[in-house]
Structure 1
Amino acid sequence: MRILYLELRRVLRTPVTLKLLITAFIISGIIAYLPISYVHYSYMDSNHKAITVSGIKAIQEKKRLVLQGKLTESKIHTAVNEYQKVTKKYGSIYRGDFPQKVYEEKVFLFINILDRINEVYGSEMKTGRGSYTDKISAHYAAEHFYKRGSYIDKISADYAAKNFYKKCTEHLKKQTSDKNKNIKQQAFNMYKKVNMPFEFIYGYGSSDAADYLLFLIFILIIICTIITAPIFSSEYQTGSDNILRCTKHGRVRFAITKIISAILISSISFSICISTYIVIEDSIFGWDSLETSLQMVSSAVSLPSLSVGEAQMLTVAAGMLSLFAVVSFTLFISSYCKSTTVSLVISIIFCFLPSLISKSVDNNIMNWIRLILPAGGVGVGNGFDYELQNLTFLKFGSHFIWSPYVIIGAAAIAIPLFMTLTVLAYCKHEAA
């Protein structure tokens, strides 16, 4: 314990480490503010003047107005019926000249329900974040923009209400129509466990808070990587490791102590920053909003039977696991390299590599490489939360594995593997 205490004090007293930890906490507060500040709500006051509010006030207004609770047949029937009445009289709700007052009173309270109905009954393309825009041309988007919602115009309220959940299953069939039969079977087995009717409460899931959580996790992992990279290599540069090895516990035990200190500093810092973010977001958006079904805020055919709150906790847990994997990998690189600069550059490159792969190539082999890397569960524009909502299955022989399972499994293997390799590399360096 004495050695561990001294090592922790040595690392924490480093000026760069202190600055990075303070920066991490400040960034957490800034990122927590962003999704709240981006919430806007416009309405007409008693003098018919357009008023726009943002932040906490906008969130409170939306929570007051939006229809919440279980997505029952009666709510679906009412939403479709009201929508059709309004569009018949005023035209598309997405036109710039649509009456603001009418939108507030007749449309806004149903908007989340209408989005799910439109997806289930009308989408002919795969769902998931970004998939619509990936598959349509700019010309098509411009030509059909104001026709959005036309699927709801073509169905009766009775039909929409009675068949919604049946159509969800049919929608999933359409999304998996070009996939292997084993993938289809796994997808349907998972989807059978989804709780129906769906639950919706305006709040965390209705904002960009989940995306910013992923971004914060990635930033924290980068910061912890910078802190961890010099743990071994800095002592190689100064030669102080030769002195330490002359002590009674200056070899294997000392290497293990360094690993433990790096893990402790990283995990405690991560926990404090993520807890700060979550408490701020959930307190302002409402803790009750965490009960919302994942299917109501992403895609109606999201496979896991999870609430928004459960998805949030899983994302944080996967983020912590990815943190341990990245820190373990960085320690291995540090124990192998004699230069802190080389150690840092290699570690940072591997942090960004999964994001670069996801943006450039999409096939089974590259998906395997992307997801089994230490930072496979985090990134810019990709990450565990995105994989939870997608229909990505990776082929392994005759089997197909859902991508979130690959992320968790790979990280669980990487942690002890790279820790062991770190100790071995340190001992090998001793022999050299």
Structure 2
Amino acid sequence: MMYLYELKKILRRKSTIIAVGVLLIGITLTLVSNINNGYDNSWVDASGKSIYGIKAIEKKKEIMSRWSGLLTQEAIAKVIEKNRQIVNNPKYKTKDGLSNQGYAKTQGFDDIRTLINYSFGGFQSYDDRTVDSLKPKAAERFYTNRIDTLKKWLGRSDIKDMYSKKEKKFFINLAETLKTPLRYSYATGWKILLDSCSSVLYALAIFICVLLAPVFAQEYQCGADSIFLSTKNGKRKAILMKLLSAFTVTSIIYWIFFLGFSGVIFFVFGVDGASAPIQTNDYWKSFYHITNIEAFWRMAVLGYIGCLALGSFTLLLSARLKTSFSSIIVSFLIIMGPALLGQASNSNLVQKIMMVFPYQTLGGNMILMKYQLYEIFGKIFTPFQFLPVEFIVIAIVLVPFTYYGFKKHEVL
């Protein structure tokens, strides 16, 4: 009964209802934008007219699915030749490049065209017209380019000190052992989901902080702490029920919103491409040997663990700072402060320090794109290996500090 009572207290607060409303609006707007206005769901018909929405998604899925299969040297050469025929046709040339009518003929293999641009464009550069200057024979370098450009990048003077020799060897070994030829499949749903994941995770993290900030602080603010801590179970069972209900609500809210958002994307775009490697889904340079569905679940679980850790920290602040507002502000700074500092600073030391802060768990697709490792006692760990352990430990360690912080509070 006490557990259910604490659950209701959290869910019925005005701050919770308002926060849920704001979160729903934000996620709904994100979904509408992805479905109606995104580049990945636009379609250009033979006349050059662009359309968006469900109809465009269906048409694009149909024509892109025709190119599904292994990206062999022959398949890449075919795309290069097909592209050459279109871009060199005077009928489709304009001062700015390719006309809409010309693009309409390339959009079926647009994903593969992008991969070719990544392969031949260098490690940190991208030019949408790189493929236009290639000849079919270049297809034989499609996969070797990925390894060669990585080695060249790691050897640059401004990069070489960022990684140890062991870390560089680790990256190169993963590049060389990636199983090729890769299998391509239409995977726009997964692409949009992975791209949007970070925004959803940040929104959920902030929402959870707002949700949990009053759990202990409200007892101080309304003067109920004197009654609460003087009862038979107030200093033991009731505090445990508060903690348990807080983590229960965090879990329920997180998975409802995260899976709900994902479900809508899958419903509209489909789940095609789940087993395709992420390298064929706009993560050409990623060193992870995983599929789209594996990347999705890794980010989902990592984000959940990060939210639990941030929730645990917010509960500690709620018990110590005694006001909801101050708890929310400090939690927000812990989330956003290191993220902004990490983006603003080019210092290798700062980047290393920022690697252990909570915002790393909310990075979504940035984790797939970054070349980031944790070397501890000579052993190398990826973010998906190190961060879950770190933040599970943090979430657990903070609980007793919260418990005793509220229990030992001196009622005035």
User: TM-score normalised by the shorter chain: which range applies?
Assistant: 0.7 to 0.9
Q: Secondary structure at the match of 2:98?
A: coil
Deviation at 1:358, TM superposition (A): 2.2
Asked if 1 retains the 8 angstrom alpha-carbon contact of 2:189 and 2:272, the reply is no
Distance in 2 (alpha carbons) for counterparts of 1:189 and 1:21: 46
| Alignment correspondent of 2:292 | 308
SS in 2 for 1:290: coil
Preserved CA contact (<8 Å) 1:28 1:216: yes
Contact 2:316/2:401 (CA < 8 Å) preserved in 1? yes
1:153 paired to 2:137: no
Cα–Cα, structure 1 residues 430 and 195, in superposed 2: closer, same or farther, change >3 Å?
Answer: farther
Shift of 1:32: 2.2
Tell me the equivalent position of 2:210: 226
Other-structure match for 1:411: 391
Q: Assess, with a 3 A threshold, how the Cα gap between structure 1 residues 362 and 402 changes in structure 2: closer, same or farther.
A: farther
Task: Output the CA distance in 2 between the equivalents of 1:428 and 1:206.
Answer: 49
The 1:235/1:367 distance shift into structure 2, 3 A limit, reads same
Per the alignment, residue 421 of structure 1 pairs with 401
Tell me the distance in 2 between the aligned counterparts of 1:53 and 1:8.
47
Q: Look up the match of 1:140.
A: none
Q: Measure, in 1, the Cα distance between the counterparts of 2:13 and 2:102.
A: 60
Change (3 A) 1:26 1:310: same
Q: Does 1:329 align with 2:293?
A: no
Alignment of 1:53 onto 2:51: yes
Q: Paired residue for 2:201?
A: 217
Name 2:369's counterpart in structure 1.
Answer: 389
Report the 3-state secondary structure (helix = DSSP H, G, I; strand = E; otherwise coil) of the residue aligned with 1:303. coil
SS in 2 for 1:288: coil
1:330 Cα deviation after fit: 0.3
The more displaced of 317-326 and 194-203 is: 194-203
Distance change (3 Å), C-alpha of 1:377 and 1:95: farther
Aligned counterparts of 2:377 and 2:345: Cα–Cα separation in 1? 21
Aligned residue number for residue 174 of structure 1: 152
| Cα shift readout 1:235-272 (whole Å, capped 9, x = no counterpart) | 12223122112222211332221111111112101111
Using the size of structure 1 for normalisation, the TM-score is: 0.84
1:186 alignment partner AA: F
User: In the alignment, what sits opposite 2:60?
Assistant: 62
Provide the residue aligned with 1:137 in structure 2. Answer: none
The alpha-carbon deviation at position 150 of structure 1 amounts to 4.0
1:64-91 residue CA offsets vs partner (Å, 9 max, x unmatched): 2222232122210101122233334449
Shift of 1:152: 5.6
Unaligned runs of 5+ in 1: 127-131, 134-144
**Deviation of residue 352 (structure 1)?**
1.2
Superposition CA RMSD, Å: 2.7
By how many angstroms is 1:95 displaced?
5.3
Cα 1:91–1:431 shift into 2, 3 Å: farther
Work out the number of aligned pairs and report it: 401
Kept in 2, the 8 Å contact 1:205–1:308? The answer is: no
Query: Residue type of the partner of 2:87?
Result: T
The verdict on how the C-alpha distance between 1:420 and 1:55 changes in structure 2, with shifts beyond 3 A counting, is same
CA deviations over 1:297-352 (Å, ceiling 9, x no partner): 23323111112222112111111111101100000111111222222211122121
Identity %: 21
User: Greater CA deviation, 263-272 or 407-416?
Assistant: 407-416
Q: What is the one-letter code of the residue matched to 1:269?
A: I
Residue type matched to 2:16 in 1? T
Paired with 2:97 and 2:332, the residues of 1 have a C-alpha distance of 49
Inter-partner Cα distance in structure 2 for 1:431 and 1:364: 47
Measure, in 1, the Cα distance between the counterparts of 2:121 and 2:211: 50
Give 1:415 shift: 0.7
Higher mean C-alpha displacement, 70-79 vs 181-190: 181-190
- Distance across 2 between alignment mates of 1:251 and 1:193: 57
Aligned twin of 1:292: 276
Query: Paired residue for 2:183?
Result: 199
- 1:344-363 correspondence runs (5 A): 344-363=328-347
Other structure's SS at 1:299 match = coil
1:26 shift after superposition: 4.2
Give the aligned partner of residue 41 of structure 1: 43
Partner SS, residue 388 of structure 2: helix
Which residue of structure 2 aligns with residue 370 of structure 1?
Answer: 354
Contact 1:118 1:152 in 2 (8 A): no
**Amino acid paired to 2:148:** E
Q: Equivalent residue for 2:85?
A: 85
- Judged with a 3 Å threshold, the aligned counterparts in structure 2 of structure 1 residues 42 and 326 are, in CA distance, closer, same or farther, namely same
Contact 1:36 1:55 in 2 (8 A): yes
2:171 aligned to 161, 178, 187, which one?
187
